[in-house]
Structure 1
Amino acid sequence: MAKQLKRWFAACMLVLTWVSAAAYAQETMPPVYYHVDKTGNQSVEQLLDKEPSYWNVLPSDGASFGYTSDVYWFYFKLPAADYDRMIRIDYPLLDRIDAYFVSGETIIDRVKAGDSFEFDQRRVNSRNFIFPIDTHDEVKVYLRVETTSSMRMPLSVWQPSDLIGSEQALNTATAMYFGLLLCMIIYNLFSYTVTRDKRFAIYSAYIVAIGLLLAGLDGTGYQYLWPWSEWIQYKSIALFGSIVFVFASLVASQILQTETRAPKLHKGLQGIMIVAGLLFLASLILPYELMISAVLVVAILASSFLIFTGFTLWQQGLAYARIYTLALSVLLLAIIINAIGYLGFFESFFIQRYMIMIGSAIEIMLLSLVLAIRFNEDRRERLAAEQRLNSRLEVKVKQRTAELEAVMRKLKEMNQRLEVKSNEDRLTKLYNRGVLDEDLPLEVRRARRTGYDIAVVMIDIDHFKKVNDNLGHQAGDEVLVELARLLRVNFRRAGDRIYRYGGEEFVILMPGAQELGCHDKVLTVTDVIRAHSFKTERGEVKITVSVGMALLNSMPGHASSKQLLEAADNALYQAKNAGRDQIRIARSLNDVSEKP
């Protein structure tokens, strides 16, 4: 794991170097000016003749004005050029941008953009906002911007070929990040499948939450995951940010064993989960501009508390708390810096955009290592406990040799119970196939001696595979148990015995049955099954069954018990071929009738 982390970090550094180099390929940006329209009613025509003193100069590296409801106008002039040019705003969370391109005093083009519009309305398919300039002449650019997120304006001008290279570099870095997240999700889900340790499942959910948050922050989510929903994009940071801290607190409590090692800190983590959960619910209803400040404040406070929790348990000597604290510190430091930047107190678009990606990637890999260490440690503790228990048991056995006779009696009783259990199907508690193989030959011989008939009824659930595929094997097992109960209730005649033959097949042995009465009884039972609602943890299920019947006296000659069972199976096969939900009676091994 450590080697993989080093390799991935080295690859990230190479990609980020490429991204940085690509960023310098942009055109030299002319001076940019801005003006705050507090009324929000100014039009571009009112600004065309404004003197330079009317505008404020925007810093060369862009600016962050924090969260504000004011409308901002940005203005700059591009000289004439003999090549195509494009403007990029490298911040994907602006709600509405109205771009005006002015030549002389004439508006030659107007473009609307922003994440309050559907993604497919953008002129250029990019998570950033890109505006092609349709003229090579000198042009003045006016940008009217309003947003409920942080007001930020990282402007740059590009030649199309250079912009393609820069976008490719950004997409490569983003793909590496989300590829790593996907690998770690699969790894932890596989670990959960193998070990059934819920910590791996919780951690997978935590990684998913981080991925969704970063997809919302980076604009990747709006480009690829929910381009059809402005609402999700509008709410994404508040919603996914809240979910991240719900699972971050849950992961911390599981890994650090705070419930037993630090009960007060455990209550603090529970408090974070409750607050983050309430923020998630509130974010579904309340406006983004009202919720985002609360989410950012909670993010800073919760991040600090999580680091404090890890550091405290580190000081108490918990070995993997050190790795946890270091891993979480990288991510949470990035989150804190990012939150401060969004509030308008810090400005570095490159650091904020990629530091949180690198921090979360390192944290995810290190915490996966912590989970593996924790699982191995728990396994060693269980083995040690078992060894101690075995040692004590050996001493106890030696000390109580006088009680051996009583123990042997108990063992004998247990063996008798096990013998009973061996005749039962573990799921349905019906007799199993082994018992049928013993009972059927005996009943056939008895029927020949007494002259009575004997019926073998074979029942199979129709399309049972769909139940397992659609609802899961647990629901399928619940259907089998309920069907076994219905069969017990309806086949109550003295001598009737019910067996689970295998899978979804059941066999009913009916000594002394008459053909007409047996058919009517089976017909009644199939109606009961068809009308019954089988309740499962995944909802109610309706099923039908196909039935094959064979009676000993209907078979030619001296049919054996094996042939009788084969005849019933053949009749069942014919019932399923006839469209299922049917009853067929075997007249011979190859002749099947629909009616008695």
Structure 2
Amino acid sequence: MATKLIHGCGVALLIIMGLFLSAAAQEPLPQVSYYVDDSGQQRFEDVSVLPNSAWSSSEASGLSFGYTSNPYWFRMTLPAASYERVLRIGYPLLDRIDAYFVINGEVVQQQVLGDSFPFAQRQVSNRNFVLPVQQQEPVELYLRVETSSSMRVPLSLWKPTDLMAEEQGLNTATALYFGLLLCMIVFNLFSYTVARDRRFVYYSAYIVAIGLLLASLDGTGYQYLWPWFPWLQSKAVAVFGSIVFFFASSVASQVLQTETRSPPLHRGLQAIMVAALVLLLLALILPYAVMINVVLLVAIVASSFLIFTGATLWRQGLAYARIYTLALSVLLVAIIINAIGYLGFFESFFIQRYLIMIGSAVEILLLSLVLALRSNEARQERLEAEQRLNSRLEVKVKQRTSELEAVMRKLKQVNEHLEVKSTQDKLTKLYNRGVLDEELPLEVRRARRTGYDLALVIIDIDYFKQINDKFGHQVGDEVLAELARLLRVNFRRAGDRIFRYGGEEFIVLMPGAQELGCHDKVLTVTEVIRGHTFKTGRGEVKITVSVGMALLNSLPGHASSKQLLEAADNALYQAKNAGRDQIRIARSLNDVSEKP
């Protein structure tokens, strides 16, 4: 079964390689000039008047400058065309790109994009950066590129239909690659359920880590897995790269039995695992520009040691160490070539984009064969040992194992239930105040880091005590539950979260909201609530709400999460004093602006 599966996946790999080599025809691109902004402060107005002597010429396919903290400016003149065109920047790890289309010295089109912004901000949904060229007459294009990754800006000009054909082939190839990974993960997890060999679990985790790393490198992860988390995108390569080498060392020690066959090599693998964990923690804290060179260096050293381990055990006569060494050598060559490319020594779209993908696919297939051989050997060893055991003891062990698994499943169910209860308000099924206390500081920090605004809205039911006094607390609970449903229905923008703050108060967090749009949305919601009939066990009830709002960027200084909450609470207090059924927006902690 393993042989058939690996053979089938090998066929899929050949299909992928064939698709990589096919490409649609792209438009000829004029020569590109570039300029290095050593100060990092120059604007378009400054750069556009620079003499030609300040610019250096380069081919569009050779715009690779290694790791640098300086912004780069690129300039080219796109010729006239009678059809639509798009410009693709085929490197998805650029932090910020400012594009200026200029005709007769006047900027007629300007775009800003990059992986430091949410993916949804892009005009064209593509893992690379695609700029529509709206002009058909000759237009001068300026690009300002800033990144903490490698400064690589491979440019290509396409007709939209040709780019779509090109992307369809590449997307199919990418889908087949990740399908191969998924196939191997399922196979190994299935093997674990049959053989109960934890090596399969470690190997599955290793495949998952490689898949996430490759998804980070080619932009697929940001497009499909974490499009709303620029913070994760900015650290994904370093984070997932560290995880890859942690599990690679773990798999090597398990498969090659280094603990018994070579204790010194085993200690070396353990050192790599510790180093990978340290790198992982540092990658979460330190900037990407600081970590990436360290991660690349550790990757080369760790891969070399892993190959040395396999070669050493090969010489000692371990049969499947040959396959392991070959598998890792393929991936190591791909990693080293890719790392050299990232450092700016050469530029090849195919090699740097897909060589590591092909190398990892070959390595995964070969390592699966090694794991199957090792697992079969271990299974034979276990069978021989089990045959020497007393049958009565075997039955007892199976019974205890079954009992333990049942207990673990029960504990998991209890833990999952407790986790839901600890974060959810029992009556309204909304997040409770404890979750707000944890998430609000995180959202404030994220807003400060990205520059996006953060709106905090407090909604309080007017005269709610009178409802309880007149109809009873049961009716009050029904009103609260129905109001929670209305809030969930109306606050549906991606990223919006609703919390029950206490009693009849609710809080809505709206990351990325602008004041006008936020106010209009809240006003619409208050009108919905005012016009809604709350049907209860004691009859129909009508309510209104008072609302206090605070936007982080509207407050002076660097307001904390506590100050943001206090500002919204003050605004709610003003809305109540103004006669209720009002909306007030905080401008500071002490005064608010009136909004009808």
TMscore range, shorter length: 0.5 to 0.7
Deviates more, 1:72-81 or 1:60-69: 60-69
| Cα pair 1:327 1:366 within 8 Å, conserved | yes
The one-letter amino acid paired with 1:73 is: W
What is aligned with 1:85? 85
| Cα pair 1:90 1:154 within 8 Å, conserved | yes
Instruction: Tell me how far 1:348 sits from its aligned partner.
Output: 1.7
Cα shift readout 1:454-476 (whole Å, capped 9, x = no counterpart): xxxxxxxxxxxxxx9xx983246
For residues 352 and 541 of structure 1, the distance between their equivalents in structure 2, rounded to whole angstroms, comes to 44
Instruction: Tell me how far 1:21 sits from its aligned partner.
Output: 3.2
What is aligned with 2:468? none
What is aligned with 2:324? 324
Identity of aligned residues (%): 62
| Cα pair 1:91 1:128 within 8 Å, conserved | yes
| Cα pair 1:96 1:113 within 8 Å, conserved | yes
What is aligned with 2:337? 337
Q: How many residues align?
A: 416
What is aligned with 1:236? 236
1:8 and 1:382, CA in 2 relative to 1: closer, same or farther beyond 3 A?
closer
Instruction: Tell me how far 1:31 sits from its aligned partner.
Output: 0.2
Cα shift readout 1:271-312 (whole Å, capped 9, x = no counterpart): 000001000011111111111111110000001000110111
For residues 48 and 282 of structure 2, the distance between their equivalents in structure 1, rounded to whole angstroms, comes to 43
1:252 and 1:538, CA in 2 relative to 1: closer, same or farther beyond 3 A?
farther
Instruction: Tell me how far 1:29 sits from its aligned partner.
Output: 1.2
For residues 302 and 247 of structure 2, the distance between their equivalents in structure 1, rounded to whole angstroms, comes to 12
| Cα pair 1:15 1:169 within 8 Å, conserved | no
The equivalences for 1:46-445 within 5 A come to 46-385=46-385, 389=388
Q: Secondary structure at the match of 1:91?
A: coil
Report the aligned-residue RMSD.
3.0
The one-letter amino acid paired with 1:473 is: A
Instruction: Tell me how far 1:383 sits from its aligned partner.
Output: 3.5
1:247 and 1:11, CA in 2 relative to 1: closer, same or farther beyond 3 A?
closer
Q: Secondary structure at the match of 2:140?
A: strand
For residues 416 and 14 of structure 2, the distance between their equivalents in structure 1, rounded to whole angstroms, comes to 49
| Cα pair 1:475 1:536 within 8 Å, conserved | no
1:314 and 1:223, CA in 2 relative to 1: closer, same or farther beyond 3 A?
same
Q: Secondary structure at the match of 1:186?
A: helix
1:14 and 1:144, CA in 2 relative to 1: closer, same or farther beyond 3 A?
same
| Cα pair 1:19 1:166 within 8 Å, conserved | no
The one-letter amino acid paired with 2:152 is: R
Structure 2 unaligned segments of length 5 or more: list them: 422-596
1:182 and 1:375, CA in 2 relative to 1: closer, same or farther beyond 3 A?
same
What is aligned with 2:406? 473
Instruction: Tell me how far 1:255 sits from its aligned partner.
Output: 0.2
For residues 255 and 364 of structure 1, the distance between their equivalents in structure 2, rounded to whole angstroms, comes to 14
For residues 476 and 251 of structure 1, the distance between their equivalents in structure 2, rounded to whole angstroms, comes to 27
Cα shift readout 1:246-293 (whole Å, capped 9, x = no counterpart): 000000000000000011010000000000100001111111111111
The one-letter amino acid paired with 1:338 is: N
Cα shift readout 1:125-177 (whole Å, capped 9, x = no counterpart): 00000000111000011000000000001000001110101111110111001
For residues 236 and 290 of structure 2, the distance between their equivalents in structure 1, rounded to whole angstroms, comes to 14
The equivalences for 1:491-570 within 5 A come to none
Cα shift readout 1:491-512 (whole Å, capped 9, x = no counterpart): xxxxxxxxxxxxxxxxxxxxxx
The one-letter amino acid paired with 1:122 is: R
For residues 52 and 5 of structure 2, the distance between their equivalents in structure 1, rounded to whole angstroms, comes to 55
Instruction: Tell me how far 1:353 sits from its aligned partner.
Output: 1.1
1:158 and 1:308, CA in 2 relative to 1: closer, same or farther beyond 3 A?
same
Structure with higher Rg: it is: 1
Instruction: Tell me how far 1:20 sits from its aligned partner.
Output: 3.3
Instruction: Tell me how far 1:377 sits from its aligned partner.
Output: 0.9
Corresponding position: 1:22 with 2:23:
yes
For residues 262 and 208 of structure 2, the distance between their equivalents in structure 1, rounded to whole angstroms, comes to 28
For residues 196 and 255 of structure 1, the distance between their equivalents in structure 2, rounded to whole angstroms, comes to 15
TM-score scaled by length of structure 1: 0.65
1:540 and 1:175, CA in 2 relative to 1: closer, same or farther beyond 3 A?
closer
The one-letter amino acid paired with 2:23 is: A
Q: Secondary structure at the match of 1:296?
A: helix
What is aligned with 1:569? none
Cα shift readout 1:326-376 (whole Å, capped 9, x = no counterpart): 111111211111112112223222112111111111111111111111111
Instruction: Tell me how far 1:201 sits from its aligned partner.
Output: 0.6
